[in-house]
Copies of this chain bind each other. A is one copy, B any other.
Amino acid sequence: MLKQKITLKHIAKELDVSISTVSKALKNSEEISRDTKEKIQAFAKLYNYKPNNIAISLKNKRTKNIGVIIPDIVHHFFTTVIRGIENYANAKGYNVIVCLSDESFDKEVINMEMLANGSIDGFIMSLSAGTEKKKDFNHLKEVTEQGIPMVLFDRVTSEINCDKVLIDDIQGAYVATKKLLDEGRRKIALLTTEDFFSVSMNRNKGYKKALKDFGLEVNPDLVLKLPFMDIDEAKIEDFLNQIEPDAILSVNEIFGIYGMRVVQRKGLNVPKDISIIGFTDGLLAKHANPSITSVAQHGELMGETAAKMLIEKVESENEEETYRTEILQPTLIERESTLNQV
């Protein structure tokens, strides 16, 4: 019933020529005569011959696959990055193998090992929370030492020498905070995560810098650090009830949504009584009511950039070890949760 996949060997036997001749004929080699080429090509087309990718990979030591390891896929930002990677990679003839670390160090290691044994030509990845917490980067080190190209994005580490692409988180938080200050807000709450996330740390920095530049003291009471999973809405509520801020800056999308819910329940009007800005310009921010002003991280561009950097490395002949760090500029998308500038 099933049409067996046809190989060079089959064609060779059927047409009574050698395998080498078939291979060359299909590549239109000058070595083979017109007649023979036409005969072979016609036969191949008829039987829908397609070379076996695995065999080619083995021969060329090139798989045309790129491995992507991300902490989570149910997260709009990562999802847009993947789309960017796919866009660029597919256009260049590469497949994308996606692995989820699920924020776990162990899964990240396992996934890397699965892929590092020939399955892929290079890695694009963002560190799991577990890895950032543990600060153990040996699996990355091993891979890069084997000469497998790697691009780190968003959640990166300075411990590893490789290409990186990230957004200017300090600047993003700075601009957002400044926007709130310019509106006249003075009591700006910061909803952030625990310290080990490189991105959160930078966003905290930007927040503080803006306050200082504005001549304001940084009040640690205005900062709430939340675990990134299993958000405790009551905790947010207590916090906001206690400090009664006139603005909220959130280092991600979801904390901002929760914050808005809490203050709306209290009867406050957003943005009249309180302004809200979140990081990550995702669907939640866009479709919330009121829609939330956000710092866009340009995930798709990030993905494309990462893929471009990786494929350049993969396809470059020279082994020179020079690594670039591309820093993307964030954009503040103004929506309904902040006061309109005039």
Partner-B contacts on A (CB < 8 A): 1-5, 48, 50-55, 57-58, 63, 65, 73-74, 76, 79-80, 82-83, 86, 90, 93, 95-100, 107, 111, 113-119, 142, 145-147, 254, 257, 260-261, 264, 283-284, 287-289, 319, 321
The number of times this chain is found in the oligomer is 2
A73 contacts across to B, CB distance below 8 A: 73, 79, 82-83, 86
State A4–B145 Cα separation when bound (angstroms): 9
Q: How far is the CB of A67 from chain B (nearest CB, A)?
A: 8
**Most chain B CB neighbours (cut-off 10 Å) among A74, A86, A146:** A74
State A51–B97 Cα separation when bound (angstroms): 19
Q: How far is the CB of A311 from chain B (nearest CB, A)?
A: 16
Q: How far is the CB of A123 from chain B (nearest CB, A)?
A: 13
A5 contacts across to B, CB distance below 8 A: 118, 146
The answer to whether B100 touches A97 (Cβ under 8 A) is no
A287 contacts across to B, CB distance below 8 A: 254, 257, 261, 284, 288
A52 contacts across to B, CB distance below 8 A: 58, 117-118
The answer to whether A117 touches B50 (Cβ under 8 A) is yes
Contact residue among B79, B95, B119, B254 (Cβ-Cβ distance under 8 Å from A54): B119
State A66–B114 Cα separation when bound (angstroms): 14
Known contacts A54-B63, A55-B58, A118-B54; is-contact A79 B90 (Cβ 8 Å)? no
State A91–B90 Cα separation when bound (angstroms): 27
The answer to whether B3 touches A97 (Cβ under 8 A) is no
The answer to whether A1 touches B321 (Cβ under 8 A) is yes
A98 contacts across to B, CB distance below 8 A: 82, 86, 96-98
The answer to whether A97 touches B283 (Cβ under 8 A) is no
A145 contacts across to B, CB distance below 8 A: 1-3
State A260–B79 Cα separation when bound (angstroms): 26
Contact residue among B55, B147, B261 (Cβ-Cβ distance under 8 Å from A289): B261
Residue of B nearest to A62 (CB): B54
State A115–B97 Cα separation when bound (angstroms): 11
Contact residue among B2, B261, B264, B319 (Cβ-Cβ distance under 8 Å from A146): B2
A113 contacts across to B, CB distance below 8 A: 50
**13 more A-B contacts (CB under 8 A) besides A2-B147, A55-B58, A65-B119?**
A1-B145, A2-B145, A4-B147, A48-B142, A54-B54, A54-B57, A65-B97, A74-B79, A74-B80, A74-B83, A90-B111, A95-B119, A283-B284
State A261–B290 Cα separation when bound (angstroms): 9
A95 contacts across to B, CB distance below 8 A: 97, 99, 114-115, 119
**Most chain B CB neighbours (cut-off 10 Å) among A53, A83, A96:** A53
Report 11 cross-chain contacts, Cβ distance below 8 Å, ordered by A residue: A2-B319, A52-B58, A65-B97, A86-B100, A96-B97, A96-B98, A98-B98, A257-B287, A261-B287, A283-B283, A288-B289
